[in-house]
Amino acid sequence: MNFLYLNSKMMGTGDDILGEKLLISFLKTLAASEARIDFIGVVNGAVALTTQAGEALDALKTMEGRGTQIASCGTCLDFYEVRDMLLIGGVGSMQQTVEIMTQADRVIRPC
């Protein structure tokens, strides 16, 4: 199983605007590829990707349409007060994240 772990709405460190552009490019390229992603876990500031319209959400929807499961951290959604704004996937838990991370053949972490 391939697990994509998103813990930020940016890729890399440095300029925030550049980091956001890089992550959007990564997600769009991944969505357009033949790569199989079985599960996407979204935590911390990355919940903006599942609660706000935009190119990142479009890429996630493409992957979900191919069977990828998506879960955003419930604690994170509550912390940022955006649980009611969730646009894709479901609400996940830390237990779920630990189980998937420890069982995954590959954990991809671009952030």
Residue extents of the structural domains in the chain: 2-108
99 Cβ partners below 8 Å, 6+ apart?
Answer: none
pLDDT digits over 87-103, tens only? Answer: 999 999 999 999 999 99
Class of domain 2-108: alpha beta
Q: Is 70 exposed, middle or buried (0-12, 13-18, 19+ CB in 10 A)?
A: buried
Q: Which residue from 75, 78, 71, 18 is spatially nearest to 49, judged by alpha carbons?
A: 71
pLDDT value of position 1? 96
pLDDT digits over 34-79, tens only? Answer: 999 999 999 999 999 999 999 999 999 999 999 999 999 999 999 9
Tokens (6 digits) for 53: 């319209």
pLDDT value of position 88? 98
Q: Which residue has tokens 């460190």?
A: 13
pLDDT value of position 25? 98
Q: Which residue from 45, 36, 101 is spatially nearest to 63, judged by alpha carbons?
A: 36
Q: How far apart are CA 20 and CA 107, in angstroms?
A: 21
pLDDT value of position 111? 82
pLDDT digits over 14-34, tens only? Answer: 999 999 999 999 999 999 999
